[in-house]
Chain A
Amino acid sequence: MQGEFEFSAWVPALPEIFLALASMALLVAGAFIGNKGTRVVCYAALWSIAVTALILIGRDWGRSLVPGGMFVMDSFAGLTKLMILAGLFAVVAMSIRYLHQEQINRFEFPVLVMFAGLGMMLMVSANDMLSLYVALELQSLALYVLAAFHRDTAYSAEAGIKYFVLGAISSGMLLFGISLIYGFAGSTNFDMIAHRLEDMEAIRLPILVGLVFVLVGLAFKISAVPFHMWTPDVYQGAPTAVTTLFALVPKVAAMALLIRVLFGPFAAMAPDWGQIVTLLAVASMIVGAFAALGQENIKRLMAFSSISHMGYALIGVIVADEGGVGSVMLYLLIYMVMTAGVFAVILSMRRDNLAVESIGDLAGLARTRPFVAFAMAALLFSMAGVPPLAGFFGKFFIFVEAVDAGYYVLAVLGVLTSVVAAYYYLRIVKVMFFDESAEPFDPNKSLSGRAVLFVAALFVLTFIAWPQPVISIAYDASKALFIQ
C-alpha cells in the first residue's frame, strides 16, 4: 500500500464507497431529525440502495483488485451484490409500514440495514482473511442490533442476545481458524494462500484444520446444521421485518463468501473440504425437513425451511465445478424471490392491528383473500419443488449437477427430504384452502408488500416460459471464479 492515493484505483469499490457514505450521512441526518423522520430516512435509504445498484450495474464486472489486494471485484461478486441490494431494497420497502404499525419506527432501522448491507457487499468481495473478517463483523454487529430491535418485547431481546452470544462464539472460531491458516501459510491474502498450498504438502493438514474453523464460522452464518441452532429462535423472536432480512440477504451473502473462500484459496483442497460440506448439506437437508414438521409458528417454520434450502444449495458447492456453482447461484436467486414473496404474506398477517404468526391464522384465506391465497400457494408449491414452478428448476439443476458429478446418494437424499418438506408446505396450502375460515386479516395497505408478492408469484409461475436468461446469468457469474 505504498505510493500516493490514487482514486481511480479504488473505482472497483465505488458502490461500497457510495453506500458507506450514504449510510453515514443518513445516520447523521437521522440523529438530527429524530424518530419522526424515520419515514424520510427510509425513503432516502431506498434511494441510496437504488443508486448503489445503478453504480454497480454501470461498472465493468471484469476481475479487478484494489490496491493491497484486499478487495476483488468480478462478475460473481457483481451478481451477488445485485441480489443483496435487491433484497435490501425489498426489505426496507416492506418494512416502512411494519415499523409504523409495530411502533418501532426508529430511524436507526434503515441505517442499520444499510450498514449490514455494506458489510455483506464487502464480504462477497473479500480477497483477504482480514477483509473477510472485518466485513463479516460489520454485517453481524448490525444484524445483532436489528434482531433485538423491538427491545420492549422479551422475544426480540432474547433473539438479539442469543444471536449475539452464539455469533460471538462463531466469530471466535473463525478468528482462530484464520490465525491457524496465517500461521502455516504465512499470509492472509487469498491468492498467496492458494500459492503456498500448491508448494507445500506438509502444511496441508494444519491448514485444513484451520479451514474447518473458518467453515464453521461461515456455516453459522448460512445456518447449516449443526451450527443452525440459533436460527429458529431468532427468526421467531426478531421483528418480522428483520426476519425477512435474515431470510433474504445474509444467507445469500454468506453462501457467496463460502463459495469464494472454498473456490479461491482452498480450491486445491476440494476433496478434503468436500467431505465437510457434504456432512453439512446432508444434516441440513434432514433437519430442515424433519424438524419443521410440527411447527405452528410460520416464522419458525420458515427458519427450518431456509435451513433445508441451504442444504440443497450446498450440494451444488460439493460438486465443485463451474456448473455446480452456477446451479447454486440459480438456486439462491430463486430462493430469494420465493422467500420474499412468502414474507410479504407473513408481513400482511395482521388482525385487529396486531401481528399474528401462527399457521392456523391463515385458515380460509382462500375465501377471504383469494388472490393472496393463490399467490402464496404458488410460492409454497414452488418451495416444495413442484413442477412447473421455479422452485422445481432450482432443485432440478442442483440435482442434475450432482448426478453428473456422480453424487447419486446426495441427489436421492435431496429428493427424499424434499418429499418430507413438501408435507409442511402443503399443510399451509391445505389450511388456507380447506379449513374453516378464521377472522379475515386487516386490509393490507402496503403497496410494496403487494408488489413484492405479485412479482414473486409471477416469477415462480412464469419462470418455465423464459428460463434461459435467468439461468445463463447465474451460470455466467460462476465462471468468474474459475478463470485465474
Chain B
Amino acid sequence: MELLAVFSPLAGFLIAFLFGRQVGDKGAQFVTCAGVIVAAIASVVLFSQVNLADAPYSRVLSEWIVAGDFVANWGLRIDQLSVVMMCVVNVVSACVHIYSIGYMSHDEHKARFFAYLSLFTFAMLMLVSADNLIQLFFGWEGVGLTSYLLIGFWNHRHSANAAANKAFVVNRVGDFGFVLGIFSIFLLFDSVQFETIFELAPQMAGVQLEFLGITGPALTIIGLLLFVGAVAKSAQLGLHTWLPDAMEGPTPVSALIHAATMVTAGVFLVARFSPLYEYAPEALMVICVAGGLTAFVAATIGMTQFDIKRVIAYSTMSQLGYMFFALGVSAYGAAMFHLVTHAFFKALLFLGAGSVIHAMSDEQDMRRMGGIWKHVPATYVMMWVGALALAGMPFFAGFYSKDIVLEAAWADHTWFGMFAFWMGIAAAFMTAFYSWRLILMTFHGRQRADEKVMAHIHESPNVMLMPLVVLAVGSIMAGSAFYGGFVGSPSDEVVMRDGQAYVSAWNKEHFWGESLHVLPQNDTVEAAHHVPLWVKALPVVVGLFGIFCAYVFYLWREGLPERLAGALRPVHQLFYRKWYFDELYDLLFVRGSWSLGLVFSKKGDGGIDRFGPDGFALVTWKIGALLRRMQTGYVFHYALVMMIGLIGIVSWLVIRSGGVVAP
C-alpha cells in the first residue's frame, strides 16, 4: 500500500516524460492523473490503517549509500505524521492534476507539464516518507528542482525565467543551512537515521557544539540550521522574496506547490524533528518570533497588492507564519492542523483564481476585473467558500485551525507567545480584510475590464470545477472533522457509553502517537483548551470587523482606499513596496554578485576562463601543434628522432649503471 502511495506518481512521470510523444497529450494526462489518483486512494487507505489504528511502521527498500559508519537507505517511514502529509499531498495533487486538464488545454507542452507535476508529487512524497535525512534531502531538492521547472514552465517569458532563477537561488541559501544542519547532526549523532537521532536527542540536551567560533548548545544550533532551510522553503520573512515571484508559473502550479504542499515542507520538517526541538527551547523561540513577524508583514503587503495571485501568495506566506509560530510554542499538532486545512482552502482559492484568470483571458490585475460574479457563478461560490475558510469564519475549516493556533500561542504564557498571539490577531484582521477586498474587487462593483474580455468571459468547464468542489468540501469539513484527532484533548473526549466513562480514540495523543513529541510542560495544545473566552472569540471578532471594513472600502465608499493611502502615504508605500525587501537584497547582494560575475565572465579575451578551461585547452592545443610540426614528413628527420631516442636510452642506462662496460 505504501509503495502504491509513493511510487505511482513516479510511474506516471516516467511514462509521460519518456514516452510523452508516443502516448500523446491525452495519454500523458491519463497516466499522470491515474497515477496520482491511485496514490491518493492508497494514502487514504493508509490513513485508516496507520492513524486510526495507531500502527506506524517503517520499511527499508534498499541500501543507498554505505561508506564506513555512514549508512543511508531508501526507506519509508510510515507514521502518523507522514501519512497525514501523504494524504494532503496526494489529494491536492490529484485535484490539481485534473484541474490542469482544463486549465492547460491551450498549452502546447501538456505532456511535459503533467510529467513535471507528477515528478513534483513523487519528490514531495519522498520528502515526507523519508526515514533518514539524506532521503529527506533528496526529496527536498527534488521539490526544489520541479518548482524551478514549473515556475519557468512558460520559458518564453523573461519574467518566468527570472522568477524561476530567483526561487532556485534563494532556496540555495536555505539549503546551505539545511546541509550544515545535516552535517552537524551526523557529527553529533553519528547517524542520519531518524530513529537513532530521536532516541538519542534527550541525552544530547546538554552537549555543546562549536559553530563558526561560537560555542552553544548543540541542539539549538542544529535546530536553527534546519530552520534556515525551512525558512527558505516555506518563505518565512527574510528568504520569502521568491514566493510572490513564483506566481509567474501556471496557476495550478501555484496551487499545488506554492500554496498547498512544497511550501509547507518547512513546517513538516520542524514537526518531524519535534523530538529534537523539544530540547532546544531557544530555537523554538526564534521560530516563534519569525513566524509571528511573517504572519504580520505578509498580511500588510497582501492588503495593498493588485495582482490577484500575489494577494493569495502573500496570504499563503502569512498563513505559513501562523504555522511556524504554532511550532514555536510546541503546538505541533495545531501547526499540522492548520497545514491541512490551509492546503484545502488555499488550493481552492488558487484554483478559483485560476478559473477567474482563465475566464478573463489571462488577466491577473484586480483593477481590471469587477462585476463578473453573474458570469462565473460557480467560481464565485467557490471563492466565497475559500475566503470564508481563510478568514476563519465559524464552522469553516480555517476557523478551527486558526483558533487553536492562536489559543496555543496565548496559552504558552511566554513573551514570544504573546508577541505571536497579537501579531496573529492583527494578521487575522488583515486576512479577512484582504480576502474580501479580493472578492469585492474581482466579482462586485463596476465592470472594469474592456469589452473584448467581457465578451469572451465564460464559466470554466466541469473538469476544472469538479476539483474545486472536492477542495471546497475539504475547506468546509476538514476543520470540524479533524479537530478532535489533530488537537483534541483526551479529557474532552470522554464519552459515556453503556454507563461507563470511555475515552474516545479520536484525540491528539492517540492520533499522533509517537510521531510528534511534546514534553508535558510544553503541551500548549492541551492548555489552549482552557484559555479565557475572549481569547477564543477575538479572532472571529476581528475577522468580522475586517470583512466589514472591506465592504466599506471597496463597495460602499469607493475612493476611500485612495484617500486613506494618500493620508498614510509612507505606511502605504512601505506595504505596497513589500517592505523594500527586494530593493534591499538587490542593493546588498544581487548587484555585487552581478558585477563580480561580469568581471569573471567577460567574453573573448577577458574573464577567468582565460586561465581555467580556456587556458588548459589552449596549452593542450599548443602542445598538439608542436608535436604536429615535428611530424615533418621527411624520412631523415624521422630517422634522426629514432637515433636520438636510441642514443638517449643507451646513454642513460650506461650512466646510471656507473658507466663501466667490462667485457
Contact = CB atoms under 8 A, between A and B. Distances in A.
Interface string A273-285: 0011001000000
A282 B458 CA distance: 76
Interface in A277-315: 279, 287, 290-295
Interface string B649-661: 1100110010011
Contact of A169 (B631, B633, B639, B662): B639
A209 B627 CA distance: 29
Given A166-B639, A169-B639, A294-B621, A212 B628 contact: no
B633 A233 contact: yes
Interface string B409-447: 000000000000000000000000000000000000000
A231 to B, nearest CB: 10
Contact of A220 (B625, B642, B649, B650): B642
B646 A212 contact: yes
A153 B118 CA distance: 64
Contacts of A161: 635
B93 to A, nearest CB: 36
Contacts of B631: 229, 232-233, 291
A229 B642 contact: yes
Interface string B610-628: 0000000000110111011
A178 interface: no
A94 B641 CA distance: 35
B661 A205 contact: yes
B663 A291 contact: no
B637 interface: yes
B645 interface: yes
A173 B624 CA distance: 29
Contacts of B627: 287, 290-291
B646 A173 contact: yes
A37 B305 CA distance: 92
A294 B642 CA distance: 24
A206 B661 contact: yes
Contacts of B646: 173, 212-213, 216
Interface in A332-386: none
Given A162-B638, A230-B638, A420 B620 contact: yes
Interface string B99-131: 000000000000000000000000000000000
Interface in A189-212: 202, 205-206, 208-209, 212
A226 B645 contact: yes
B620 A290 contact: yes
B177 to A, nearest CB: 36
Interface in B365-404: none
B644 interface: yes
B644 A226 contact: yes
The 6 A-B residue pairs with the shortest CB-CB distance in the complex, in nearest-first order: A293-B624, A229-B638, A226-B645, A291-B627, A290-B624, A290-B623
Interface of A: 161-162, 165-166, 169-170, 173, 184, 202, 205-206, 208-209, 212-213, 216, 220, 226-227, 229-230, 232-233, 272, 275-276, 279, 287, 290-295, 420, 423
Given A226-B641, A229-B637, A232-B631, 17 more contacts: A165-B635, A166-B635, A166-B639, A173-B646, A205-B657, A205-B662, A208-B657, A230-B638, A233-B633, A275-B653, A290-B624, A290-B627, A291-B624, A291-B628, A295-B628, A420-B620, A423-B620
18 contacts: A184-B663, A202-B662, A205-B653, A205-B661, A208-B657, A212-B649, A212-B653, A227-B642, A227-B645, A229-B641, A232-B631, A275-B653, A290-B624, A291-B624, A294-B621, A294-B624, A294-B625, A295-B628
